[in-house]
Amino acid sequence: MSETTTAPPKAVEGTLGFVDERLGSTTFFGRNVKKVFPDHWSFMLGEIALYSFIVLLLTGVYLTFWFKPSMLEVVYDGSYTNLQGVAMSEAYASTLHISFDVRGGLLMRQIHHWAAILFMASILAHMLRVFFTGAYRKPRELNWLIGLAMFTLGILEGLFGYSLPDDLLSGTGLRITQGVAESIPVVGTYIYMFLFGGEFPGQDIVPRLYMLHILLIPALLLALVTAHLMIMWHQKHTAMPVKHQSEKQVYGYPFYPVFMAKTGAYFLFVFGVTALFGAFFQINPVWLYGPYDPGAISSGSQPDWYMGFLEGSLRIMPAWEINAWGHTLSLSVLIPALLPLGIIMTGAAVWPFVEAWVTGDKRQHHVNDRPRNAPVRTAIGMAAVTFYGLLWIAGANDILAERFHISLFATTWFFRVTFFVGPVLAYIITKRICIGLQRKDAESVAHGVESGVIVMSPEGRFSERHEPAREAEMHVLLSKETALPAAPDRDAAGIPAAKGPVGHLRSRLNRAWTLDDIPIEEHGNGGHGEGEQKAIEGSGESREAKR
């Protein structure tokens, strides 16, 4: 944006002309080149996921040049002397070959694995950001669902990926996968036999997982990533509730050149950090585990982190099994394998629609909520985080027991109890914190903020001077919408609204949603005084009266 705008150089004009005459693309470019991207640190989390996915594609392609997805037995004679002469599958031997005989192979393997871990971690962090700020609300429910699908696919992709080297640890993971498949009622053994091409481990599972890992799932992920980005681009990114941002306008820096350069730097950061980890932090040293042997296992076997919550739920489940009419229902496997994942994924998928139904809010939302301003949502979110987090830590209960010298059974019992208590506590505590923060906001609006200036009155009383918040802060404070009162049970003529049981449930949930709402509104001239305090208390009372 220099002040002396000259005609564009020929190279630019020529290329643009060439493309435009064939595709008519200039209209599109013109509309989008200055597209505004609102700024907030938390908006980078999704970008990390995107860029680690690209790192995964690049390093993954490299690995396929040498990896042999075959379970045929060979005798290793590569340069890792500890395993020379040992019989192993070609998959494992070629993984050793990549690690020790292909220059840069170990680096690419380690970058690939670290990027996978980062990919899943950043998706989760991004999802939490979207959830806690309410960014999934209309019109973005579809992108939320696409994100959940990608998260689920990412779990599968990771599981299949780390199963490929056919080392002792990955074989144990597959054994557990097989045991879980077998437990499914009616069709379990069929799924097991069809997946493994016979009995475990057989000869087919690695080539099959390889195909799923390098072709089918990445293709689905790529399609979903594209859809996710196109929808985001089309709908425009949400903004945080700060000055200049509103439902009608978006404020920020233009895509070209600022956002483009920033996001380019971000890609370089992600690649750089994964390379740094690949260079200096060992991950999945399969050569130490040895080839898969169904009779062997090492203690402290742990899956990658994103499988941890499933591992934990398997560990803390009591031994329930039903035997009746010649059939066995293995609840001790079935429940932990399906229930937590089902609760989290189904819960997350229906949540945007449930929330809209309960609150009756069918409006479009482009400005996010501050987490404190939606206490029930934030509390539910924290309950889910606690639920997931406890299961995840339970997946390492043997490590905890060993490192902290606690009885292994005690750790299991701890998680069995907190599994139920933890989420409830998290809900209550989070909701109280949110409401406390709302009160503080209401006070800041009414009284002003602390100035750090202590004033002595003529009688000798000390007090701190409060001053009106700055305009930008005021904007943030006032971004909270006062909860809408529930529709009255009776209309003007006193006739009760016709409500079925579902309608009553909805009213009840709606009341729970808005129960402790603290209205944050400006009261006239600002400043501070007794009157303001009354106003806050008064508004609380009027809510009491409404109930």
Partner 1 sequence: MSDENKETAGSTDPREEGGRRERVIGTPSPARDKALLAEDDISAPAGAGDQLDEESAKRAERIVAALFLLAFAASVTFIAYFIGWSGRDGGMHGVEDARETNFWLGGTMALAFLAMAVGVTIWVRRLMTSKPIVQERHDLAADEETRSAFARDFVEGAEDSGITKRPLLRRTLLLAAAPLGLAPLVLLRDLGPLPEKKLRSTYWAAAVERAKAEGKRGVRLVVDGTNKPLRVSDFAAPGSMITVLPEGMEEHVPHEELLTEVAKAVTILINVPAADFKPAPGRGNWHVNGTVAYSKVCTHVGCPAALYEQTTHHILCPCHQSTFDATNAAKVVFGPAARPLPQLPLSVEDGYLIATDDYQEPVGPSFWERG
Q: Which residues within the stretch 44-103 sit at the binding site for partner 1 (CB under 8 A)?
A: 72-73, 79-81, 99-101, 103
- Specify which residues 450 forms β-bridges with: 466
216 binds partner 1 (CB under 8 A): no
Cβ 417 to partner 1 shortest distance, Å: 15
Tokens of 169: 């640890």
Q: Which stretch binds partner 1 (CB under 8 A): 59-67, 184-192, 213-221, 536-544?
A: 184-192
Cβ 358 to partner 1 shortest distance, Å: 23
Cβ 265 to partner 1 shortest distance, Å: 4
SS3 label, residue 498: coil
Closer to partner 1 by Cβ: residue 103 or 490: 103
Which residue from 25, 27, 226, 249 is in contact with partner 1, where contact means CB under 8 A?
Answer: 249
| CA distances, 261 to each of 121, 228, 256, 311 (Å) | 24, 21, 8, 41
Q: Which stretch binds partner 1 (CB under 8 A): 157-165, 183-191, 422-430, 509-517?
A: 183-191
Closer to partner 1 by Cβ: residue 301 or 539: 301
Closer to partner 1 by Cβ: residue 346 or 451: 451
Phi, psi for 300 (deg, rounded to 5): 70, 30
Helix axes 44-64, 260-280, angle to 10 degrees: 50
501 preceded by a cis bond (ω within 30 of 0): no
Do residues 410 and 161 touch, judged by C-beta distance below 8 A? no
| Total chain residues near partner 1 (CB under 8 A) | 142
Which residue from 13, 247, 489, 491 is in contact with partner 1, where contact means CB under 8 A?
Answer: 247
- With CA atoms as reference, report the closest residue to 111 among 153, 54, 44: 54
Query: Looking only at residues 150 through 169 of this chain, which bind partner 1 when binding is defined by CB under 8 A?
Result: none
Q: Which amino acid is at 274?
A: T
408 binds partner 1 (CB under 8 A): yes
Closer to partner 1 by Cβ: residue 470 or 499: 470
Which residue from 143, 170, 397, 430 is in contact with partner 1, where contact means CB under 8 A?
Answer: 397
CA distance 71 to 63: 17
504 binds partner 1 (CB under 8 A): no
| CA distances, 14 to each of 2, 17, 27, 241, 276 (Å) | 22, 5, 16, 43, 41
Cβ 125 to partner 1 shortest distance, Å: 16
403 binds partner 1 (CB under 8 A): no
CA distance 192 to 134: 40
412 binds partner 1 (CB under 8 A): yes
Which residue from 58, 212, 227, 253 is in contact with partner 1, where contact means CB under 8 A?
Answer: 253
DSSP letters, 317-380, are: -----EEETTEEE-HHHHHHHHHHHHHHHHHHHHHHHHHHHHHT--S---BPPPGGGSHHHHHH
Closer to partner 1 by Cβ: residue 213 or 315: 315
DSSP letters, 385-430, are: HHHHHHHHHHTTHHHHHHHTT--HHHHHHHHHHHHHHHHHHHHHHH
Which residue from 16, 20, 26, 40 is in contact with partner 1, where contact means CB under 8 A?
Answer: 40
CA distance 438 to 445: 10
272 binds partner 1 (CB under 8 A): yes
Which residue from 145, 449, 509, 515 is in contact with partner 1, where contact means CB under 8 A?
Answer: 449
Query: Looking only at residues 3 through 22 of this chain, which bind partner 1 when binding is defined by CB under 8 A?
Result: none
Cβ 15 to partner 1 shortest distance, Å: 23
